[in-house]
Amino acid sequence: MEAELPGKQKASSNLWKGILLAVTATLIWSGNFIVARSVHASIPPVSLAFYRWLTASLILLPFVWSMRKALVQALRARPGYYLAIGITGVSLFNTLVYVAGKYSPAINLALVGTTSSPIMVIILGSIFLKEKISFLRLAGLITCLIGIFYLLSKGSWENLLALRFGRGDAWILAGALAFAIYTLLVRKKTDSLPPVVFLFLAFSIGTSCLIPFWFWEISAQPPVQWTVSLAAIILYLGLGASVIAFLCWNGSIKRIGAVRTSLFGNLIPLFSSLEAVWLLGEKITYIHLISGGLILIGLILANLRPKL
């Protein structure tokens, strides 16, 4: 028994580190849906995505410059893998979210994006990675979904039934699918590339794939009117929602797996509501408490290890 203890301690440590990293990522990302909706009239979606990922790539460049040989070797060894990582996690995901923000309210973005991506990860993970869907994990997912729907409906079935899925919701569904594929691809990482170099490859490839669409957009749209607040939002997206959040998310996937990590995305609507309380002066109600409790119970259930 004593010989097994260090291994158990390491597993427990990885679990808690993975949970902390996933929670940190979702806390940072919780503002992304709000940003997508709030700036849709100031900057077109492809330009917003392009400047975000260009900023993130430039932030990482000094940290990876000394490791450029390892970067080139990894890219030569698995060009298709890194192209898929860049396209799904960078080029497609947030660009589609920003496109959706032109047509759908933030509540729809949070509802469709948050609830669909973990389900897609579980289904795709069971098919392609042969990850088992335990009863506890399924129960945890269902409990999280109940908590999210209760939050977004404000505790009323009438409000829930009044939600309508439109053009923007199809875009966010496509974005959720892209991010689900990205999450599973990260799980398939086999080389020893440092996390910062891995992210730089994903960001720079994803940014490069956006260039032709960016040129098309700026030729068809009025020029962006830059302000201090818009530049600050780009910096937040590039540093916080890109570099820091993706490092945390990928680190969580490495420690606790793609399916478990994806379930923590259910915290995003809860964090968004709490940010509204903090930033907009809205009040915490019993709805926040009940929905928050359900989401937390669901996450606990999903992370319990069934006894054999």
Rounded mean pLDDT of 203-230?
94
Residue 235 predicted with pLDDT over 60? yes
Residue 200 predicted with pLDDT over 70? yes
**Other beta carbons less than 10 A from residue 106's beta carbon:** 17
238-256 residue pLDDT tens = 999 999 999 999 999 999 8
Residue 282 predicted with pLDDT over 60? no
- CB 146 within 8 Å of CB 157: no
Confidence at 7, pLDDT banded by 50, 70, 90: low
**Other beta carbons less than 10 A from residue 247's beta carbon:** 18
Rounded mean pLDDT of 215-244?
92
Each domain of the chain, given as residue ranges in start order, spans 19-137+154-259
Rounded mean pLDDT of 225-231?
91
Segment among 46-55, 69-78, 118-127, 212-221 with least mean pLDDT: 118-127
Tokens of 133: 């869907």
Please report, rounded to a whole number, the percentage of residues in the chain having pLDDT higher than 70. 84
117-130 residue pLDDT tens = 887 888 888 888 77
Burial readout 198-235 (b: 16 or more C-beta within 10 A, e: otherwise): bbbbbbbbbbbbbeebbeebeeeeeeeeeeeebeebbe
